[in-house]
Amino acid sequence: MNCYIYYDEISKDAVIIDPGAFTDDEKNEIIKFVDDHELNINKIINTHGHIDHVLGNSFAKEVYDKPICMNEDDVFLLEGSRDQARFFGLEIPPLPGIDEYICEGDLITVGSAQLKVVKTPGHSPGSVCLIDDENKVVFCGDLIFQNSIGRTDIPGGNYKVLMNSIKDKLFLNSKDDYVIYPGHMDESTIGKEKQYNPFLIS
Ligand SMILES: [Zn+2]
């Protein structure tokens, strides 16, 4: 999965979005990036509560000691995270709890930039997109991917709700030139997905 570090080049303020790090190599890659760019991590944000996205929460909390933020409706996934991990053959220690709930309309300040929280359920009940309108950037978690959409065949998933989140929430809160950074695979743009995503053209 994709972990993102979003930062202000001038103030060096930064947030970690979905610290899915599990191996030492993955953890060291995050630490090295933060150190190389001399960043101050302010928050650890989860776009949703699936195990691959929250697996590095303990590590990030331990190293940076900053609040972990997620929408409240995915807490049940965190509580079941050890079962989720076992499903993938992993034994993990209990994950730390959420320190701050993020809700529709919240603004998260990162230096001179702001990430707007837009609630986009469907892949999971508490999934959110983080949108920076000034820089035209969307962190969309597993809502939508390049030419694909998030799975809805898992507990809490709902195809109809997901499609409504894409059309009524994501598209109404962005423009075609916004770049989307999904939780898996490559980046895209809102315009390209409207034009080519097979789940959206019919
Ligand atoms: Zn997911």
Q: What is the pLDDT of residues 138-179, one digit of tens each?
A: 999 999 999 999 999 988 899 999 999 999 999 999 999 999
- What is the distance, to the nearest Å, from the Cα of residue 18 to the centroid of all Cα atoms in its chain? 5
Cα–ligand 1 centroid distance for 169 (angstroms): 18
Distance 10 CA to ligand 1 centre (A): 32
Report CA(36)–ligand 1 centroid distance (Å).
Answer: 29
CA quadruple 170, 157, 56, 81: dihedral, nearest 10: 160
Bridging pattern class, strands 107-110 and 13-17:
unpaired
Interval 97-142: pLDDT, tens? 999 999 999 999 999 999 999 999 999 999 999 999 999 999 999 9
CA of 48 to the centre of ligand 1 (A): 7
Tell me what the pLDDT averaged over the chain comes to. 96
Interval between CA 50 and ligand 1 midpoint (Å): 5
Going by pLDDT thresholds of 50, 70 and 90, the confidence category of residue 62 is very high
Q: Is 161 exposed, middle or buried (0-12, 13-18, 19+ CB in 10 A)?
A: middle
pLDDT recorded at residue 156: 87
C-alpha of residue 145 to centroid of ligand 1, in Å: 11
Query: Structure pTM?
Result: 0.96
pLDDT at 94: 85
| Interval between CA 110 and ligand 1 midpoint (Å) | 24
* 3-46 pLDDT per residue, tens: 999 999 999 999 999 999 999 999 999 999 999 999 999 999 99
Model pLDDT, residue 200: 94
Residue 57, judged by CB atoms within 10 A of its CB (0-12, 13-18, 19+), counts as buried
Distance 11 CA to ligand 1 centre (A): 31
pLDDT for 54 beyond 80: yes
